[in-house]
Structure 1
Amino acid sequence: MIREIKGYHVLIGLLIFFGVIIAVNAVFLTQAFRTFRGEDEPRSYIQGINYNDTLARREAQAELGWTAISTVSETGVRIEISDADGQGVTGLMLDARLRHPADSNLDIVLDLRGDGPGVYATQADIPDGRWTLVVSTPEGPPFEMEQEIWLQ
């Protein structure tokens, strides 16, 4: 026996269809807002205003002629900084962190300490994945570097 499709059958089907779509969109929106808060740089406006200072620091760093070689493994970070003559640069206070590309809550702050002439190192438990090593001097001679890293 074939049953006849009536108007209320179509109405119920449409309500269920759009109800499922709205529920799935609500779940996706909730997850999107929980996992990514939007702006990752908390002071992007101030950073933009001070961009000329950033350019001046980079120019001063280029005049120094320093070079840096970094080595990153699952157990730690080692950076060798040498001046234009190839001599190790000592006595720097470095701010360093491993920045996660998707979530700043996963960033790892590094405590780099002098470990020889021009060598700065620290032990850290670094998970596998993609990271950006960011190193700079908060005061003193201008130095900053960024390096993309992929640990497997």
Structure 2
Amino acid sequence: MKKLIPLFFVMILSFSACSAASPPDLGNDFTYEATVNFNDVSYKAEIDYHDNIVYFTPTSTNASGMTISCDGSIVTYSYDNMINTSDMTKVSPSNPCVALYEIITEFHQSDIKSNDELYTVDGTVTAGNFTLVLNTDGKIISIDIPDINLYILFTQKN
């Protein structure tokens, strides 16, 4: 009996150890500046996620000032006073705004791995397989969708 008591305490301690870190939540609103590499083109963009809508605004190309937004059913292109909307199913899945929206909504159904400094999330969206890298605070570091040659490097907006 005396030998069982220490074994009992060891079992209790092993089951009460710290739980595994839970993955960050991408459902929170955020704003980033980003460098977008799409095929052979590289440009800067501002990426916002608010109220379940992704806003994608190129800032360093001829498209500067145009905002593309996606709410999961409608994609809206706005530039100055011009606005054009399309059903999301009719927009190319390689559109960075559409791909970002799908990644954010598919995040919890993806394969999440972690180490002490990063979370790596592998999943699939309409455009293809993706890898999302986040830091332990839940800040997005990068998104890579090799099937469409899209790589986005994020920096926190000041």
TM-score (norm 1): 0.33
TM-score (norm 2): 0.32
Which has more strand, going by share of residues? 2
In our comparison, the structure showing a higher alpha carbon Rg is: 1
